[in-house]
Structure 1
Amino acid sequence: MATRYLPLLLLLLLLPASLFSFAVGIPYQAPEKTEEKVVVMEGIVYCQNCTHVGSWSLAGAKPLPSAKVSISCKDHKNRVSFYKAVQANGEGFFYAPLAGLKDYHVKRPTDACLVRLLSSPDARCNVLTNVNYGIEGARLQGKNKRITTGGYNAEIYAAGPLAFRPAHCPPRTLY
């Protein structure tokens, strides 16, 4: 008698879960989509006004289109575990998803990651400044800013603003 039901039993075992649950009357639930969290870096790069060279003031500064910055993150053993170079858009703003930065690389990007100035496409404004630690490395700031839409889950960190300064500024008269 057991051999009579064996083909039927094998057929039920080989059916996919969705068909089996339909045949038995149990509603099928697809596994939940897991949204992968993406860490994003954003900021803006300026060209500092000649009147404020030597200070951290960005009064009168203009956004620097196509400037390049880098982000590097270190792991718990102080080794660089992530590096990426990013180019700003036409308004000097950069928004860079850090694909490949995983939790096993760093626990908190605010503790492990630094943003630095790399290069300026403008020959008149291409000298690095340490405004907001653009040379030493600006720490990322978490502003509790998130974007969650349609399976995209981004945790956004800000850096800067960073600045280059003009290569040549007219001398200031102090009288």
Structure 2
Amino acid sequence: MASTLFKSFFFLLFFAIFAVSTAADDTTAAETLATPPHHYAAVPPAHHHHHHSPTPAPVAPPTHLPLHPPAQPPSHHHHHHHIHSQPPAHPPHYHLPPAHAPAPGHHHHHDVHPLPPPTHSPAPLHPPKPRLLRSFISVQGVVYCKSCKYAGVDTLLGATTVAGATVKLICQNTKYPLVQTATTDKNGYFFITAPKAVTSYAFHKCKVVLGSSPTPSCSKASALHGGAAGAPLRPQKSYIDANKLPYVLYSVGPFAFEPTCAHH
């Protein structure tokens, strides 16, 4: 009797295991039909069923087993595993923060602002070299004849202008002196234009001396303001002449001749 019961129990256990295995295969087939083909290739179903087979569940009708897999398809668990299999793509983003972390409060844009100061350094190059504009030279002055009362005295009290007197502009800026002569007008005024070879760059090498007087009684050049030895030029103003040429006007004198007075 015991042997018969043992055989019956063993037969029922074997039949239950066979039924569970058959139901599992049906479940796998159902999952395969419910799951898209591209997800099926990535999920091996064999490993999932080995975990359920060892459990000695009680004998259950095979008709209920196919109904549970559609409600809880194990394929969804595999899809979640495949979705989480992508985290290796995110770690590179976690390595980036350490590069920015050392300077959270420092702005690199502020480091660029100290660069403008070097742009002002080239400015000192211009002041050392002032631009020198070379102009032509013109000279003006007046010639007088002293009165007999103040003969030999450096004063023009009582003096009168001399018309027709000559003056000379002499420049030593070349190998040979350049001389330009002018004659005074009725007011004793003269105006001399230097040769174009002479410019304001070398005006200090020029001087003006008294020449001759049209009056024999007042013909000796006096030393007043350097008329006898030669007077240096004094810059007055710059101007443009009628020909659009740049000039610098210089002044000398006033000059005077000494009179020859009769003694009583």
Same fold (TM over 0.5): yes
Provide the TM-score with structure 2 as the length reference: 0.45
- Could you say which structure has the higher helix fraction? 2
Question: CA RMSD for the aligned pairs?
Answer: 2.1
Higher relative contact order, chain-length normalized (CA < 8 Å, sep 6+): 1
* Paired-residue identity, %: 25
The runs of 5 or more residues in structure 2 that have no matched partner are: 1-133
- Aligned residue for 1:32? none
Match among 83, 89, 108 for residue 202 of structure 2: 108
User: What are the superposed Cα offsets for residues 30-84 of structure 1, whole Å, 9 maximum, x if unpaired?
Assistant: xxxxxx94310100000011111112101111110010011111127xx543111
Structure with greater Cα Rg: 2
Match among 126, 129, 137 for residue 39 of structure 1: 137
- Aligned residue for 1:93? 189
The runs of 5 or more residues in structure 1 that have no matched partner are: 1-35
* Pairs within 5 Å for 1:94-173: 94-103=190-199, 107-109=201-203, 111-143=204-236, 145-148=237-240, 150=242, 151-170=244-263
Q: Is the 8 A contact 2:135 2:201 kept in 1?
A: no
- Could you say which structure has the higher strand fraction? 1
Structure 2 residue identity aligned to 1:63:
T
Q: 1:129 to 1:37 in 2, by over 3 A?
A: same
* Equivalent pairs, count: 130
Q: 1:102 to 1:114 in 2, by over 3 A?
A: closer
Structure 2 residue identity aligned to 1:147:
Y
Provide the TM-score with structure 1 as the length reference: 0.66
Q: How far apart are residue 152 of structure 1 and its match? A: 4.0
Runs (4 or more) in structure 1 with deviation over 4 Å come to none
* Pairs within 5 Å for 1:54-73: 54-73=152-171
